[in-house]
Structure 1
C-alpha cells in the first residue's frame, strides 16, 4: 500500500473574470504554486465574484480534492462594493463549512485598481499563490 498522497485528486480553480488583467495575475500565482507542487487542476471562469458561490455549489460533487476561488472587487461610488464583498465571501464560506471543503480563498477586495494589482501581482502580494498554498494546506488537514 502506498503512502497517503494528499494531492492525488485534482484541485478546481474558480475564477471571476470581471477585471481580466487582475484575474490573469491572480490565476498566474495560483497556477505557479500548483505546477511547482505537481498538483493537477482544472479551472472555470465566471463573470464576477457574486457568481463564484454558485459555481462552487455546482462543482461540489465532482470529486475535487480542493477548491481555490479567485476574484477581485474594487470599491466604486455606490454601496454595491459592500454587497458584492459580503455576499461572495458569505456564499463561499457557507459552502466550504457545510460541505467540509478544502478551500483557498483568493478574492481580493481593494479600494482602487492600483491596490488590487499590487495584491494580485506574483512579485508583490501574490494572493493567487497564497490561496493555492492555503488550499493545499487544508487538503492535508482534511485527509480522507
Structure 2
C-alpha cells in the first residue's frame, strides 16, 4: 500500500492563510478528498482558507498560481485522473504535476499535491478518504502543505523569477 511509512505530522497553522483548489471531475472521489483536506486544515488550526473549484485537474496549476500570487502561505491542490483508453491520461497527469511543481518552486509557496493518478475508479475511491477507504490523500496533502509552510515561515520570501 502506498500510504505505508507516512509520517505523523502535527503543526500549528493558526496564523496561516491557505488556498484550497479542487477539480470538479469524479464528484464522489473529489468529495472525499475535499472533506479530508478541510479536516486536515481544521486539525492544524487553519481558519483562513480561500477555496476555488476548477473544471478539471488540468486547470489546477493556473488556479494554484493565482492563489500563490494572492499571498497565501500554502496551496492544497486536489484532483483525480483515471486512466482511459487514450494517452489523454498521461498528458493531464504530466501537465498537472509539472505545473504544480513549477508554481511551488517559482513562487516559494508550498503546494500540497493531492492529485490522484489511478488506473481505475476503485483505486481512486480507495485513496479518497471515504468510509472504507484505506487512504486519505486530501488530508495528507493539506497537512503536508501546512507543515511545509510552517517550516518555511521563518525564512525570507524568494524574489520572484
Instruction: Please indicate, yes or no, whether the TM-score normalized by the shorter chain is above 0.5.
Output: yes
Partners of 2:36 and 2:137 within 8 A in 1: yes
| Aligned residues: CA RMSD | 1.4
Gaps of 5+ in 1: none
Match of 2:4 in 1: none
Instruction: Work out whether 1:130 is the aligned partner of 2:137.
Output: no
Match of 2:46 in 1: 39
Instruction: Work out whether 1:142 is the aligned partner of 2:152.
Output: yes
Partners of 2:100 and 2:111 within 8 A in 1: no
Matches within 5 A, 1:1-144: 7-40=14-47, 41-122=49-130, 123-144=133-154
Gaps of 5+ in 2: 1-11, 155-161
Whole-angstrom CA distance in 2 between matches of 1:92 and 1:37: 23
Partners of 2:68 and 2:74 within 8 A in 1: no
**CA shift for structure 1 position 6:** 5.2
Runs (4 or more) in structure 1 with deviation over 6 Å come to none
Q: State the SS of the aligned residue for 1:73.
A: strand
Between Structure 1 and Structure 2, how many residues are aligned? Answer: 140
Scaled by the length of structure 2, what TM-score is found?
0.82
Partners of 1:7 and 1:139 within 8 A in 2: no
